[in-house]
Structure 1
Amino acid sequence: MARRREEEDEDEDEALESVERVFEGRAVPGWREQVTLRALAVSALLGAMFSVIVMKLNLTTGIIPSLNVSAGLLGFFLLTSWTKLLDKAGVASVRPFTRQENTVVQTCVVACSGIAFSGGFGSYMFAMSERISEQSGETLDEHNIKNPGLGWMIGFLFIVSFLGLFSVVPLRKIMIIDYKLIYPSGTATAHLINSFHTPQGAKLAKRQVKTLGKFFAGSFTWGFFQWFYTAGEGCGFMAFPTMGLEAYRQKFFFDFSATYVGVGMICPYLVNASVLLGGVVSWGIMWPLIDQKKGDWYPANLKPSSLRGIVGYRVFVSIALILGDGLYNFLKVMTKTVSALVVQVRRMMSEPTLPISDMAFQTADDTFDDKRRTELFLKDQIPNTLALGAYAVIAVVSVATVPHIFHQLRWYHVAVSYVIAPVLAFCNAYGCGLTDWSLATTYGKLAIFTVGAWAGASEGGIIAGLAACGVMIGIVSTASDLTQDFKTGYMTLASPRSMFVSQVIGTAMGCVIAPSVFWLFYNAFRDIGMPGSEYPSPNALVYRNMAILGVQGLGSLPRHCPDLCIAFFVAAIAINLARDLAGPRAAAYIPLPMAMAIPFYLGPYFGIDMCIGSLVRLAWDRLDPARAKAFAPPVASGLICGDGIWTLPQSVLALAGVKPPICMKFLSRSANVEVDAFLRGKKH
């Protein structure tokens, strides 16, 4: 009797801990019922909206927060509203909205908006343009210039963005079931979607959506209000010298950006603090000191944008920090990946039976959730022959066509990239499962240096390196994204086939939507990519100069610039090493070199915005931690989405030639006296 009671207690405890017990009575729809027309329609709408947001972030600072929570939340809201409206209209054949369909929407949206980042519109692709080349101070060379064009950008993305999906499909069982990799972002997204589809979670989701809507409307209205005061260069709230005019000249000011206040609420405190610290070290200390060396370290009569002057120090020291941080994390993740693989292989070889059959993946230690999820995950499989065959076909087509888009890139450069890419895609997907850290941009930078040096400066090595970077990022990034989605689908009982199909459809959407959004920005804002403009695209100049370094070396840098670069490269490695050796508590107070590098060129003003967002989140966490945990992400998402979507009507107004009516500018007292005297003189 006592034993039976113990067993009943164990069953109750398991039911409380089990997610799938909650959904046990609900039938799991087939993969075709998960990828519905309504899900794809909502995905296209949200994918376009998120692409605008990612594009704006790309072209301002390049810091992109995770938008998975917003995608899952808005997908839940829109499809719930859709089904309710049809119910009220008397349409009885409406299919119930399931968590699997919610997962399809989230996957499709993130795949679509992910192309806005991996497509390189704020980095390698825009770096090829004449506008960015002029800022690098190069002699105009047609071999190393390729200006944006909607047709070739869409074609290039279609060629390179699908290979990563097919390269990782044969490894899905090993990654998710056999190795049981964590994929923190994919797991967190799955927990979120699962919670939405419980009665209590649905109520909370409705309140979260309502909160997001309020802050979306407020942020959009604030962006519209600010527009009225921006009728000239240096006008508007974004040029408000909140800390004084001298601080403003050194880029220390709050620019009233709802976007970066929202980003600050989502990003970890350490990221925001690191960005601000980087701004203080560079614009508060280093650049004023180097500016005093004008005429000694570099000529005094250079153009303000010349890389032979102070801008060269800003750009190349930033690059040194980025490369040092990237190299360290590359070696760290690769070491973890190799050691974990060795452990897994030894464990498999020591087992009495190899996991060949589907049932061999289940062990006595598996919980009810594990068994249920494994059963469904192994049900709808994607034939490996299809995946490998598709990879081979697309690779052959790509080897034949990419050199026609970039004549500087030879067919053998592309062929070698596609031989190496599956290995790097596996490493990135595996490392992402262990650490949640995608090294796609690091692999891209390696391609810049290797292919650029291989091609040579006289044969267009700069464009060849940047194009090879795009090929590598396109493959490696989508591979890790798909494995994250497989993990999310595994935990929500979404079919691997529906995950793959929705990822393919979302990627196809992104290959059209993302270049179109960039083309809208490029034509609406004529000064895009220029220093001091609303959209300076700092990463484009960084990537361009990486390509120049790859083919020309360090010889053309200003005096003492190579020494500073080496010092900061070593410092980035040392800081990362200190973080890993110090332990978790101490590491929370050691800055991140990658985050520090961003304001070295751009300035610390957006770091001030992000730190204000951090302070709001910190105060909220202290006063009401439960409410902050539930509602801070929707508030931040509303701020980001509203300000980001305002860019669309702003672009339309710019294309229509409608200009703001007012210029709000701030002058010193002496400058104001001169302006008043001038105006009085004109009246007389």
Structure 2
Amino acid sequence: MVRRCPFAQVFIAIALILGDGLYNFGKVFFRSAQALNKHRRTQAIIPVSGATSSADTTSYDEERRKDIFMRDGIPNYIAASGYVVLAVISIAVVPKIFPQLKWYHVLVTYCFAPILAFCNAYGSGLTDWSLASTYGKLAIFIFGAWAGAAHGGVLAGLAACGVMMSIVSTASDLMQDFKTGYLTLASPRSMFVSQIVGTAMGCVIAPSVFWLFYKAFNIGAADSEYSAPFATVYRNISILGVEGFSSLPMHCLTLCLVFFLGAMVVNFFRDVTPKSISQFIPIPMAMAIPFYIGGYFAIDMCIGSLILYLWERTDKRKADAFAPAVASGLICGDGIWTLPASFLALAKVNPPICMKFLSRSVNAKVDTFLGG
């Protein structure tokens, strides 16, 4: 049972993420319906920019961004029709490539993917971390158990995971790009066309690069430079998935339900309490990140928030003006460092010093071992 505890942590993180995401999805849907109903009854025009009340403190730059972003927005009918066309193509093509995944599996995936895509876009905008793989693991269990081991459930779960992750990750990537376009006064339509061109290029380049690596290296082998450890992890998850939820650790589903409902309760209290109190109530989506990827991300967020807080206390005007640029520099530097880190890893260069945090009991055992 101890061996399966990390696996339970993943599902607790999924429960928190789904609870927070679905709550905010319902809140946005409800408020949008209210606004549309009010607009229909009053026949009032909802202003995007232009005349503002004396109490409106929105800056000119913000109004300008809103005006450009909304004026060059993508019509809803184009987005809906494009999604339907892609769904029809996937329903017809994906089962041909993976016969174990039936057409109705793909149809159900496309029906529920928009909700999960909203949750992932919300979480990505909140934490700058895409959790598409989390929703992919959920798809593995659902569709793997649905297909069953006798009908190729392992491969069906992995294929459904790929379809779900491609939809969910694309949604969060688009939202991040649209946010950048909003801040830089770029046209959303131009950015969307660029995304389409880049995706079309990726459909050719990505398989070609994979084929090159597949021919040049023994990908997947334990002694290879590209052992593909995540492939083994996802395959083992799919093998467990075909056995159904009975393969999960004891009380895992109960814990998932508790954390799922807890995330909704926490969000409810954040909405009904005054801002002076709600600002101290944690956000469930941010709480779920350490469950999934470890505590180092939460520590980074905490240190960054502390620096920003002290900066705002000393010079709020400069903090508001330059905080996004500082954050972008930190994110860019952290990302670029992966390139030299990869070269160092290929050269078998070990770090000169390592730091590890242990619990008190484990630390006592280490001290005893070193002292002996």
Quickly name the TM-score band, shorter chain normalised: 0.5 to 0.7
Paired AA for residue 349 in structure 2: P
Q: Is the 8 A contact 2:149 2:242 kept in 1?
A: yes
User: 2:149 maps to which residue?
Assistant: 457
Matches of 2:299 and 2:80, distance apart in 1: 47
Deviation at 1:566, TM superposition (A): 4.6
User: 1:467 maps to which residue?
Assistant: 159
Paired AA for residue 269 in structure 2: A
Deviation at 1:454, TM superposition (A): 2.8
1:556 aligns with 2:252: no
Q: How does 1:621-640 map to 2 (within 5 A)?
A: 621-640=312-331
Matches of 2:118 and 2:292, distance apart in 1: 31
Deviation at 1:329, TM superposition (A): 3.1
Q: % of aligned pairs identical?
A: 45
CA RMSD of aligned residues (A): 5.2
Paired AA for residue 412 in structure 1: Y
Deviation at 1:326, TM superposition (A): 1.0
Deviation at 1:316, TM superposition (A): 1.1
Q: Is the 8 A contact 1:318 1:601 kept in 2?
A: yes
Show CA shifts across 1:489-544 (max 9, x none).
Answer: 68977555423312212434565777869x79x89965764xxxxxxx7xx96997
User: 1:344 maps to which residue?
Assistant: 36
Deviation at 1:362, TM superposition (A): 9.0
1:659 aligns with 2:348: yes
Q: How does 1:44-83 map to 2 (within 5 A)?
A: none
Deviation at 1:330, TM superposition (A): 0.8
Residues 630 and 542 (structure 1), Cα distance of their counterparts in 2 relative to 1, 3 Å cut: farther
- Return the index of the structure with the highest Cα Rg: 1
Q: How does 1:25-104 map to 2 (within 5 A)?
A: none
Paired AA for residue 414 in structure 1: V
Matches of 1:371 and 1:649, distance apart in 2: 40
User: 2:102 maps to which residue?
Assistant: 410
Superposition TM-score, scaled by structure 1 size: 0.39
Residues 586 and 461 (structure 1), Cα distance of their counterparts in 2 relative to 1, 3 Å cut: farther
Q: Is the 8 A contact 1:374 1:490 kept in 2?
A: no
Q: How does 1:533-612 map to 2 (within 5 A)?
A: 545=237, 551-559=242-250, 561=252, 563-600=254-291, 603-612=294-303
Matches of 2:118 and 2:290, distance apart in 1: 29
Deviation at 1:611, TM superposition (A): 2.9
Residues 400 and 659 (structure 1), Cα distance of their counterparts in 2 relative to 1, 3 Å cut: same
User: 2:2 maps to which residue?
Assistant: 310
- Partner of residue 504 from structure 1, selected from 177, 196, 218: 196
Q: Is the 8 A contact 1:449 1:550 kept in 2?
A: yes
Residues 551 and 626 (structure 1), Cα distance of their counterparts in 2 relative to 1, 3 Å cut: same
User: 1:616 maps to which residue?
Assistant: 307
Matches of 1:636 and 1:487, distance apart in 2: 15
Show structure 2 runs of 5+ residues with no match. 53-59, 356-362
Deviation at 1:488, TM superposition (A): 7.3
- Provide the secondary structure at the position in 2 that maps to 1:409: coil
User: 1:641 maps to which residue?
Assistant: 332
Matches of 1:469 and 1:670, distance apart in 2: 46
Matches of 2:47 and 2:350, distance apart in 1: 70
Paired AA for residue 157 in structure 2: G
Deviation at 1:346, TM superposition (A): 5.3
Q: Is the 8 A contact 2:25 2:118 kept in 1?
A: no
Q: Is the 8 A contact 1:425 1:480 kept in 2?
A: no
Show CA shifts across 1:27-84 (max 9, x none).
Answer: xxxxxxxxxxxxxxxxxxxxxxxxxxxxxxxxxxxxxxxxxxxxxxxxxxxxxxxxxx
Matches of 2:354 and 2:68, distance apart in 1: 65
Q: Is the 8 A contact 1:380 1:497 kept in 2?
A: yes
- Provide the secondary structure at the position in 2 that maps to 1:660: coil
Paired AA for residue 461 in structure 1: G
Deviation at 1:323, TM superposition (A): 1.4
Residues 445 and 580 (structure 1), Cα distance of their counterparts in 2 relative to 1, 3 Å cut: farther
- Partner of residue 329 from structure 1, selected from 17, 21, 27: 21
Residues 589 and 487 (structure 1), Cα distance of their counterparts in 2 relative to 1, 3 Å cut: closer
